Chain A
């Protein structure tokens, strides 16, 4: 069985603060993909990143960075210098096997981020 836990239900920060969204996953498979999606108030989920289990390098994309640690089964997401436009619900997701299709995705329950001025 696979499971994704996002323990933070809601986070509020003031603009320009850094914020980290936690994601802990469970799987017995040694091969898997991890994802982050952003759901702004408009509703559609937007793909942010996909990382496979063989690549533990951290990734940075502008103000976004991701810390993948297999030792703690975590794939945390940090937003540096947060902005109001970052306000959204963020979902972490997992799929086991490197050939698995999206029908096998397991989503976490999401973390709502509120960034205020």
Chain B
């Protein structure tokens, strides 16, 4: 079955460490997205990519970095510059035709900074 796989599901990090969250999709979708979810705040867009080797900042990109070397993969690195990284991170994908805006989500990764 096609879908999005995020790993790890739970991750603990010490302050000052970078961590990378994995996101892999086999839906053949061109566009991929990273969202951050905090209690009571809904989903906020971190980065998105509509094509391989290209990505754009979302609303809260500071302290994060991404790469898109393969269509299937869109890893997110949470750097030490992110002031409050403890959150639930969701990866999503979609096709890129005009008006194509239904997202398919992964199961998320919960990052806790100790």
Residues of A within 8 A of B (CB): 4, 9, 33, 35, 37, 42-47, 50, 91, 95, 98-105, 107-110
Interface size class of B (residues with CB under 8 A): 20 to 34
Number of A-B residue pairs having CB atoms within 8 Å of each other in the complex: 73
Query: Within the complex, what minimum Cβ distance (angstroms) separates B56 from chain A?
Result: 7
B40 at the interface (CB under 8 A from A): yes
Selected from B40, B48, B90, the residue in CB contact (under 8 A) with A45 is B90
B94 lies within 8 A of A102 (CB)? yes
Assembled-state Cα–Cα distance A25/B4 (Å): 29
Given A43-B108, A102-B33, A108:B42 Cβ within 8 A = yes
Query: Within the complex, what minimum Cβ distance (angstroms) separates A40 from chain B?
Result: 10
B100 at the interface (CB under 8 A from A): yes
Q: Which residues of A contact B73 (CB under 8 A)?
A: none
Selected from B40, B43, B99, B106, the residue in CB contact (under 8 A) with A98 is B99
Residues of B within 8 A of A (CB): 4, 31, 33, 40-45, 48, 50, 56, 58, 88, 90, 92, 94, 96, 98-108
Assembled-state Cα–Cα distance A113/B104 (Å): 22
The 6 closest A-B pairs by CB, nearest first: A99-B98, A43-B108, A107-B42, A45-B105, A102-B101, A109-B42
Assembled-state Cα–Cα distance A87/B88 (Å): 19
A109 lies within 8 A of B101 (CB)? no
Query: Within the complex, what minimum Cβ distance (angstroms) separates B94 from chain A?
Result: 5
A100 lies within 8 A of B107 (CB)? no
B58 lies within 8 A of A102 (CB)? no
Assembled-state Cα–Cα distance A44/B94 (Å): 15
Selected from B33, B40, B99, B107, the residue in CB contact (under 8 A) with A103 is B33
B40 lies within 8 A of A101 (CB)? no
Given A45-B105, A47-B103, A95-B101, A101:B31 Cβ within 8 A = yes
Among residues of A, the one whose C-beta sits closest to the C-beta of B48 is A103
B99 lies within 8 A of A99 (CB)? yes
B101 lies within 8 A of A107 (CB)? no
Most chain B CB within a 10 A radius of its CB, from A44, A45, A47, A102: A102
Assembled-state Cα–Cα distance A42/B92 (Å): 15
Assembled-state Cα–Cα distance A95/B45 (Å): 13
